[in-house]
Structure 1
């Protein structure tokens, strides 16, 4: 199976490379104009390598990754020079290769020394007349059983000498030859994913690979403004089966690694791509395998990432059976059943006829800011606005996280925005499971568990209260104590999207405690749910002014339209509409919970506009059956453990809730 997958990968990459080669020929077909544009980039066609005519020198190549790459380039028709310090092992490998390939040569030398690097470069040129590609692959892990303070100086120096000085000496000698002969060359430095996150007991290796990427950048910088003779690029391959990884990983982990030949596609690309595509860049090999176009063009954390999409079936009435009632379609995304409030409808109608409505919106959101400042009792400078709370969540995660940051979440949590954003930031969060069970009606956040996970790397804690998707709420005194205990350098994002549905006596008044809480706590609210403005996209964060300034650094002006600002202000002032929404939800959530109890269906008392329950039948069947009645149930199947058959229902209008109860009573 592994071999089949690898073959598929190779075919995919070859197809991609073939397409790129065709694109490269387009300027020749377009004539002088396109050619002049190509020339204006500072890169010449002669710098593009054709492997059939190339000479490739690979350090540390009598085994492991180097040998796999040697075989790859030999199969492409290139002349290859293999290298290593162990003369006996080198010649044994050379003899095996020469039985299959005519254009292979070996140079036994220690490239970490000036004489050894010079010998490799000079002997290669003497044999084949030139060098087109140098792959700095030779490396050693150094001690794998010692922490940084226990590593002997000579061991540390040995790693840096092999992994950094060696590539420097080989690159230096090759660049000097290229400048003398005016022959284009490219240098491929074999880095490691360890530079992004580090690893225990590999400090010398980590530092050396970081330095190797610095070598790539330095070559790029020093070659700027000159004729494009030298192209340098770094590649971060995944861990594969080699002697080095065998000495680090446990036997079971080592057995799961791929063969070194899976790395061939990205090295083939790096050796043949136009210089402008690769110069000075570092490519992630795993990302390239998954998404080559994304890794080449974007060359950032977005490689291999899919766009965040949500496609509610309620938006596709053409897919429904003729005559299906869509009155309960709002329940699918937990929207307000009362739709737009009268005050908002009036404000929007008036806004349409305002001769100034066409202009750019107020970037400071002055009227909305003033009202919310008084409404919450906080400084107006502590408010940050965004087009929905989702954007503010994404912004907070990007603001307070990095590859080394630790983000603490509950499990489960509202993950539509959280997970894609963390992936883009390259962050693997720490998840803290809930306490309690649905059957005992005591599901709750494990605040003590979250606190125990805090380390010096912790940058942000994301807590939804009242919680989506369980409907539970944290005791307000416990929440206050928790926030007071968080170190001041940490940000806590308290998502209060459903707080207005909660009984007032159970709500935690964050605004009241903002100035006393030491950490950077951020309250997050939305107009989408309780205020029935999901289509207007308005959300806001409230915090201390210094934290608001940090959160605003990734914000953009004009993100909330004139009409949306007026709608939000009108909704805040429409107290009668708010009373109707709250009373209906309060009455119906209690009625549904009691009805579930009578039917023997485990459910969680809710403080939100939805109710978590243990579905008595297959969930897809329930949703499909109720759809025929015009009720569109939310789908949270991927949120809970696979062994749990939990579902949620929106707390809607009484007639819609009754349809759900009548249906479930049959099971």
Structure 2
């Protein structure tokens, strides 16, 4: 949309290169029976205790929530063995990432990101007047050497997702330690761990929280939107050195985490056995679905999260956008792709959901010549 009319207020020029965020499709016009697998939400919902806590907060809706987030921060510090002064909560981890960038980037500064990652991190940096430097990945995994090579005297923040989105891959413990030890102390190293709960029991994965006491430039963000099933409440948290927390607190809005979100998240943290069951169910469904897709002749990027990235062989005429349309026609909403694109990201639903998705994709691929495994016919 043009912003050049002399009779209209002019937006900041830095916004000219940006487009509004396009979220995964959440509904179909005129249809009520659809399955949403487009935004990496949990099909299992919140813990029963979290739902009960949410309803119990109804009588407090006329009052602002606790601006100091005392009970939630205390629950986070107990669960993750962190000092309370190192934790801050917000309206989703997205808000906290925005606050971090605004607190530490000046116009003209640089932020180093991996070529795949949370798109809003780059958007926040651009709005702050910064320059985004994207480092290439290796086999869909964040390449620590490329990240370190991209750091310049203008770099103020390095930000990577671990596990990554939309690939679902992660940086190994040894590479994580090398990254943490090699980023200059005056540069913020931000680890976006929105999907960390899904990976905690994977070999060679480690949360950056374990290194927090060693580096005062390390910042970790987490969310309750994914494994905890609280996406609709928008609640996340950040762990960092108290000096970083203090900087963010200076521009954080009052009462930025609402009452219902705080009490539901607090209750969720007491349900770690429930969380382990959710993670195990997700892993079983994801691995079965990935095997089915590979059996159909598709490339599936190995994921430890609640989604998979699939490559369709466009040389055969098949495409991610074609599969997307076939799935939508059958009532499944996945992450949209551009016309002719090879890739499609699919969030994990229940076992039944994913079995039906596999059948739709199998039927779609029947129109193209792929080398599939005849013994892998999806029942």
Normalising by structure 2, what TM-score? 0.88
Cα contact 1:325–1:629 (8 A) shared by 2: no
Q: Please, which of 577, 580, 583 is the counterpart of residue 277 of structure 2?
A: 580
Structure-1 residue corresponding to 2:165: 468
Contact 1:525 1:539 in 2 (8 A): yes
**Equivalent residue number for residue 621 of structure 1:** 322
Contact 1:301 1:425 in 2 (8 A): no
TM-superposition CA deviations, 1:556-576 (whole Å, max 9, x none):
110111111101011111234
Distance (Å, rounded) in 2 between the aligned partners of 1:506 and 1:320: 46
**What residue in structure 2 maps to residue 634 of structure 1?**
335
Report the counterpart of residue 364 of structure 1 in structure 2: 68
- C-alpha displacement of 1:448: 0.6
Q: Distance in 1 between matches of 2:170 and 2:277?
A: 22
From 44, 47, 54, the counterpart of 1:338: 44
Deviation string 1:260-296 (CA, Å, 9 cap, x unpaired) is: xxxxxxxxxxxxxxxxxxxxxxxxxxxxxxxx6225x
Give 1:309 shift. Answer: 4.3
Unaligned runs of 5+ residues in structure 2 are: 366-379
| 8 A Cα contact 2:117 2:164, kept in partner | yes
Q: 1:634 Cα deviation (Å)? A: 1.3
What is the CA–CA distance in structure 2 between the aligned matches of 1:311 and 1:507, rounded to whole Å?
29
- Give the aligned partner of residue 80 of structure 2: 376
Whether the 8 Å CA contact 2:200–2:206 is kept in 1: the answer is no
| Alpha-carbon offset, residue 503 of structure 1 | 4.2
Quick one: higher RCO (CA 8 Å, sep 6+), 1 or 2? 2
2:214 & 2:277 partners in 1: Cα distance?
35
Any conservation in 2 of the 1:294–1:303 contact (CA below 8 Å)?
A: no
Measured against aligned partners, the alpha-carbon deviations of 1:604-628 in whole angstroms (never above 9, x if no partner) come to 1111100111125233332222123
Which residue pairs with 1:314 in the alignment? 26
Q: How does 1:418-457 map to 2 (within 5 A)?
A: 418-436=121-139, 443-457=140-154
Cα separation, 2, equivalents of 1:522 and 1:533: 22
Match of 1:594 in 2: 291
Report whether the alignment pairs 1:511 with 2:209.
yes
* Deviation (angstroms), 1:592: 1.5
Bigger helix fraction = 1
Tell me, what secondary structure is at the counterpart of 1:421?
Answer: helix
Match for 1:531 among 210, 228, 242?
A: 228
| Aligned positions of 1:80-119 closer than 5 A | none
SS at match of 1:522: strand
* Match runs of 1:103-502 below 5 Å: 293-295=9-11, 300=12, 304=16, 308-310=20-22, 312-315=24-27, 317=28, 319-321=29-31, 325-326=33-34, 328-329=35-36, 331-352=37-58, 354=59, 356-415=60-119, 417-436=120-139, 443-502=140-199
Distance in 1 separating the partners of 2:109 and 2:274: 43
8 Å Cα contact 2:336/2:344 also seen in 1: yes
- Separation in structure 2 between the aligned mates of residue 578 and residue 332 of structure 1, nearest angstrom: 22
Q: In 2, Cα distance between the equivalents of 1:575 and 1:305?
A: 43
C-alpha contact (below 8 Å) 2:200/2:207 kept by paired residues: no
State the structure with more CA Rg.
Answer: 1
Deviations 1:22-47 (A, max 9, x none): xxxxxxxxxxxxxxxxxxxxxxxxxx
- Counterpart CA distance in 2 for 1:496 and 1:525 is 5
Change (3 A) 1:450 1:396: same
Structure 1 spans left out of the alignment, 5+ residues = 1-8, 21-291, 437-442
Total equivalences in the alignment? 358
Report the alpha carbon displacement of residue 544 of structure 1 after superposing the two structures with TM. Answer: 1.6
